[in-house]
């Protein structure tokens, strides 16, 4: 039975140890091999993805070449730039993989603006590290020039931190929905989307980074997806992780997942936002499913429903 599925890719699906364009294209060709199974099975597919390393690298490149006449671009624009580059690579990789299977499909990338609230508490406490590590002297010079916020990061130097507000809307969701309804594989919400606020009736970019799992959930809810699949580095979410009594979760209810969240079973900044996004999706779409699993487990998910499957 055909389903509308939003698949949220983790960073390891794009960038491994080679940050060059060729290296990332090679990683995405492997990713496309797994994603093509959704299309081959007859499902409507929307793909979202992270872009943290790519934005960091781009900001570093811009910083090195920034001058008064050729200044570096702000974070929201850097997110848009990497949405475009990753989308370009992923579109081609998917179409090429499907051709090998004698499937003719079009893919399109939508530069996606994600609306956040100007009053979100995150703007008062920037917490999301971006960009390169700086020495103390470099940090002070940059802070004087930009008035940005920096934090010391595990003895490795200082990094700029920006707010990470929660998404409250997706500007382009009607376009995303229309594309997928017409059989086009749609790539959207890259890097959590371009963060914008509504001011004087217009959308204005802000210096922030949105968690891509929360943005993926918002897209999935707005396009009425049947399933949200959040891909990560493990086949299952576990409780008591890395302890002798570790237990993998297979089919689990929202109520049980909320209990595990209260018990602090999931690491903040790692598994926790994935679990929270999955819970929110089911609460907004009680007939849907949310799955957290690995890219390599996609085929098993489609045939045997394996992974951590969360339902109402």
Active site residues: 11-12, 128, 212, 274
The alpha-carbon radius of gyration of the chain (Å, integer) is 19
**DSSP code at position 72:** P
Instruction: Count other Cβ atoms within 10 Å, centred on residue 169.
Output: 14
Query: Are 19 and 57 contacting, i.e. CB atoms less than 8 angstroms apart?
Result: yes
Q: Which residues in 69-191 belong to E strands, given as ranges?
A: 107-109, 113-115, 128-134, 149-152, 158-162, 169-170, 185-187
**Residue 241 φ then ψ, to 5°:** -60, 135
Query: Are 219 and 176 contacting, i.e. CB atoms less than 8 angstroms apart?
Result: yes
Q: How far is CA 91 from CA 186, 187, 192, in A?
A: 9, 8, 18
Query: Are 217 and 292 contacting, i.e. CB atoms less than 8 angstroms apart?
Result: no
Instruction: Tell me the HSE value of 186 on the side-chain side, using a 13 A CA sphere.
Output: 29
Q: Tokens for 62, please give them.
A: 């811009």
């Amino acid at each position: 039975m055909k389903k509308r599925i939003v698949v949220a890719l983790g960073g390891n699906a794009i960038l491994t140890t080679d940050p060059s364009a060729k290296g990332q294209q090679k990683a995405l060709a492997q990713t496309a091999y797994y994603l093509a199974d959704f299309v081959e099975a007859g499902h409507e597919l929307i793909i979202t993805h992270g872009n943290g390393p790519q934005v960091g690298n781009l900001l570093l490149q811009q910083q090195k070449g920034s001058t008064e006449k050729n200044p570096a671009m702000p974070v929201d624009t850097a997110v848009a730039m990497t949405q475009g580059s990753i989308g370009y690579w992923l579109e081609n990789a998917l179409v090429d993989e499907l051709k090998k299977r004698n499937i003719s499909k079009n893919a399109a990338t939508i530069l996606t603006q994600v609306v956040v609230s100007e009053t979100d508490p995150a703007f008062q406490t920037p917490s999301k590290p971006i960009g390169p590590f700086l020495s103390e002297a470099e940090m002070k010079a940059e802070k004087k020039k930009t008035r940005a916020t920096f934090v010391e990061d595990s003895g490795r130097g200082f990094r700029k931190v920006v707010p990470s507000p929660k998404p409250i809307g997706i500007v382009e969701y009607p376009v995303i929905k229309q594309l997928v309804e017409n059989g086009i594989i749609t790539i959207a919400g890259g890097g959590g989307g371009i963060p914008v606020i509504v001011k004087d009736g217009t959308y204005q970019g802000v210096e922030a980074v949105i968690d891509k799992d929360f943005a993926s959930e918002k897209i999935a809810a707005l396009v009425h997806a049947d399933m949200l699949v959040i891909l990560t580095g493990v086949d299952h979410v576990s409780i008591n992780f890395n302890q002798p009594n570790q237990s993998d979760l297979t089919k689990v209810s929202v109520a049980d997942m909320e209990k595990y969240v209260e018990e602090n079973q999931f690491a903040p900044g790692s598994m926790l936002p994935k679990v929270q996004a999955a819970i929110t999706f089911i609460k907004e779409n009680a007939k849907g499913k949310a799955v957290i699993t690995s890219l390599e487990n996609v085929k098993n998910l489609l045939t045997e429903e394996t992974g951590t499957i969360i339902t109402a």
